[in-house]
Structure 1
Amino acid sequence: MLTVHAAVGLHPFYRRQPGGGFAVSGAALLAARAVQGLGAAVLATSPLAIIVAAPPPKGPGQERAIGMFMVLALGAILTSSLFFLSQTLQRIDGRNPLDTGLALLPMAASLAVAAISSRTLRDLGVRHLPCLGGLISAAGLIWLYWIPEHPNLAADLLIPTLLLGTGCGLVMMSATHAVLAGVPRQDAGLAAGLQNSARQLGGAIGIALLVTLAHAVTASRNAAGQAARLAELDGYRCAFLAAGCLSILAALASLLLRGAASEPAPASPGQKP
């Protein structure tokens, strides 16, 4: 039943992606995104049902619950930030898709480097990596709250996106470790599936909520007589700020971890160091 439910959501979601990319007018783009949103709403309930219905793997329940929340928040932050950055650079600044993609490459590179380096940092004894990462990514998102209409590549875009990518990379591996720590080998596949479902669900919910927020802010600015382009930019800015607040909340939640994801795991008595 879940497979049929997911297929019903996947069909309009992916069929309308080309429609959004090749839309020739604002009305066509809005219609394509509306159908995509409907598909995402249907699709999001499938991983939610899996998370709710699946029996929890044996292991530290608090660590797993906090890790799941961090994964949800990470999915929402990454998906929404990439969406609103691309919208800002193309619709507000007027860049073409190629220039927009190149401008966001440093963020992707910093995310990969931070995710790979986080294991080494944890082994070196660096504590509270997920909290540190959440605060770093929040700093980048709050920086983007002041992004101008025509951002400077270095000061207005490169620095905050590097902060965002680095922070999310540090949180990514720590959240994964928190979800999988203490899970028996026979339940590892179930735990990994729950983690992936939580990340997808976080992205879907994050986009839905933050797009709604951005649209509400834009509508209020338009009603106050502000120029349409600046009103739209204000909506994107508020979405960045809300994502930054979510990142701070995830960072604070990570402090509740009892050490599995924030400190090096001690060796067991019979385990070689």
Structure 2
Amino acid sequence: MPSASPPDRRAAPAGEGGGGAGTGPALALLAGCQLVLVVDASIVNIALPSVQRGLGFTDAGLSWVVNAYTLAFGGLLLLGGRAGDLLGHRRVFAAGVAVFTAASLAGGLAATPGWLLAARAAQGAGAALAGPGSLALIATTFPDGPRRSRALVVFSVAGNAGMVAGLVLGGLLTAWASWRAVLFVNVPVGVAIVALAPRVLRESPGREGRFDIAGALACTLGSTLLVYGFIRAAERGWHESRTVGAFCGAAALLALFPAVESRARQPIMPLRLFGDRDRVGAFLMRLLLTSAMSGMLFFLTLYVQVVLGYGPLATGFGFLPTTLALITASRAVPRLLRRYGPQPVMAAGAALCVVGMAWLTRVSPDSSYLAMILGPVLLFGAGTGLVAVAATFVAMASVPPGESGAASALLQSMQQIGASLGVAVLVTVDHAAARGAAHGASRVEGMRGAFTAGLAFTVAMLAMALVAFRRRAAGEESTGSHL
């Protein structure tokens, strides 16, 4: 592949200097894009019955309306992040949003199941190009200090709130319009982002060099097989031949990846990013948090609709307290990091998640929303706000500008892999618990088993917070002070 072209310097004055008065529009654009990308991973969930009726999907094929997006997004993130490092993050970001927007339009017009699945996969590919660039552009647009801290909080809130916002928006659009609206809604937003990007975003410096082809193949195929393995495990079980084959292939490729990268002149994933103990801890915290949260939302959605009898719209609004608690807790993170450092903040957030998930293990057929759902979702929302924002701060701290795309892609890969892992594990436990329950109680018993598995993820997250991060010595500058 030819050398990367020189970076495009035709940026609007708003972005020049990184952090002038014009950075507000840049932040709104980047956070808005991240919100849309994450929302699209969940917005179709509530619309799936309507999709099945409209296009004639089989039960097995219907799950791939969600999985096609997840697989492409998770598998291509590392490649998308490194492409931005070499070619310029604004250029790759805008190209990714353009692909995502065109695929959304195509999906909304779909007349056959195959057409819709292809469009969803293309959406995921576009998201994998745009996602890492949006976080990397935060680092290049906003200077160290309070401006960047505020930008990272807004960006993290947008990403994490998107998991819940997708359920609310999906319920609204499906109830008031049709399932096609959950795809068409992306089109005007995407067109606006592509049009505004050259005006409000400053291009990041490109780097002369070539793509690490061997590393790109190993990480892309390995990540794709890993995500596919978790998806397959949730559908067919952990011992099914394709599940085992996917995991074996992923293990082989990802084990080969460090050796390939250590020999590459310009690796797609610089191994020195793993040399910081706190950064590695942040990546793992993100993985465990998303595993617990995705599984919790999956089974709570079922519980509220199947057991409590809520409709799609009421179900979506039932998760709004999660978003409110998440936003409230997130706003406190920069101040808490400056005062206490990352370990206490991570531990406090993980502890809130543990209590919320432990509460959910007590659900019964007679539970009510106020007694059994509201408290846990508030606790989990607050815990997620603390952990997710702190993990983003730590993961991106002191990353060289030329490697911000790789670090951003790795952080977001942990989110995508964690989402697939969490659903796969909790679905497996749900099935096992339901089979062992008395007739008539199997549905709720299965869910209680799933929430118990989710509790294990949150306990692991708390243990990780206590052991993985360096304790701040007296007088030592905390992570939050230089972000």
Q: Which residue of the partner structure matches residue 454 of structure 2?
A: 243
Q: Which residue of the partner structure matches residue 305 of structure 2?
A: 90
CA shift, 1:39, in A, is 4.3
Q: Which residue of the partner structure matches residue 350 of structure 2?
A: 134
Q: Which residue of the partner structure matches residue 375 of structure 2?
A: 159
CA shift, 1:37, in A, is 7.7
Distance in 1 (alpha carbons) for counterparts of 2:69 and 2:436: 26
Q: Which residue of the partner structure matches residue 409 of structure 2?
A: 193
What is the aligned length?
248
1:100 equivalent in alignment to 2:320: no
Q: 1:20 aligns with which of 44, 48, 58?
A: 48
- What's the secondary structure of 1:70's corresponding residue? helix
Decide which moves more: 175-184 or 39-48: 39-48
Q: Which residue of the partner structure matches residue 177 of structure 1?
A: 393
Tell me if the contact between 2:399 and 2:407 (Cα under 8 Å) persists in the aligned partners: yes
1:71 equivalent in alignment to 2:283: no
User: In structure 1, what residue type is equivalent to 2:295?
Assistant: S
Tell me if the contact between 1:17 and 1:32 (Cα under 8 Å) persists in the aligned partners: no
- What's the secondary structure of 1:226's corresponding residue? coil
Distance in 2 (alpha carbons) for counterparts of 1:113 and 1:233: 32
- What's the secondary structure of 1:128's corresponding residue? helix
Change in CA separation of 1:265 and 1:238 when aligned onto 2, cut-off 3 Å: farther
Q: What are the superposed Cα offsets for residues 108-149 of structure 1, whole Å, 9 maximum, x if unpaired? A: 111122122222222343761111111111110110011222
Distance in 2 (alpha carbons) for counterparts of 1:210 and 1:263: 42
Larger Rg: 2
Over the residues paired in the alignment, what is the CA RMSD in angstroms?
3.3
Q: Which residue of the partner structure matches residue 439 of structure 2?
A: 226
- What's the secondary structure of 1:151's corresponding residue? coil
Change in CA separation of 1:253 and 1:78 when aligned onto 2, cut-off 3 Å: same
Tell me if the contact between 1:114 and 1:169 (Cα under 8 Å) persists in the aligned partners: yes
Distance in 1 (alpha carbons) for counterparts of 2:442 and 2:273: 50
Distance in 2 (alpha carbons) for counterparts of 1:20 and 1:29: 11
Point out where structure 2 has 5 or more consecutive residues left out of the alignment. 1-40, 79-218, 224-253, 258-268
> How do 1:9-48 residues align onto structure 2 when only pairs under 5 Å count?
20-22=48-50, 23=52, 30-32=59-61, 34-35=63-64, 39=68, 43=72, 44-46=74-76
Distance in 2 (alpha carbons) for counterparts of 1:137 and 1:17: 24
Decide which moves more: 94-103 or 31-40: 31-40
User: In structure 1, what residue type is equivalent to 2:429?
Assistant: L
CA shift, 1:184, in A, is 1.6
Change in CA separation of 1:119 and 1:265 when aligned onto 2, cut-off 3 Å: farther
Distance in 1 (alpha carbons) for counterparts of 2:409 and 2:458: 23
Distance in 2 (alpha carbons) for counterparts of 1:249 and 1:216: 22
User: In structure 1, what residue type is equivalent to 2:449?
Assistant: C
Change in CA separation of 1:129 and 1:263 when aligned onto 2, cut-off 3 Å: farther
Distance in 1 (alpha carbons) for counterparts of 2:326 and 2:427: 24
Q: Which residue of the partner structure matches residue 362 of structure 2?
A: 146
Distance in 2 (alpha carbons) for counterparts of 1:236 and 1:139: 17
CA shift, 1:30, in A, is 4.2
Change in CA separation of 1:216 and 1:20 when aligned onto 2, cut-off 3 Å: farther
Percent same amino acid at aligned positions?
Answer: 25
Q: Which residue of the partner structure matches residue 8 of structure 1?
A: none
Tell me if the contact between 1:111 and 1:169 (Cα under 8 Å) persists in the aligned partners: yes
| Greater relative contact order (CA < 8 Å, ≥ 6 in sequence) | 1
User: In structure 1, what residue type is equivalent to 2:49?
Assistant: G
TM-score, with structure 2 as normaliser: 0.46
Point out where structure 1 has 5 or more consecutive residues left out of the alignment. 1-12
Distance in 2 (alpha carbons) for counterparts of 1:33 and 1:209: 20
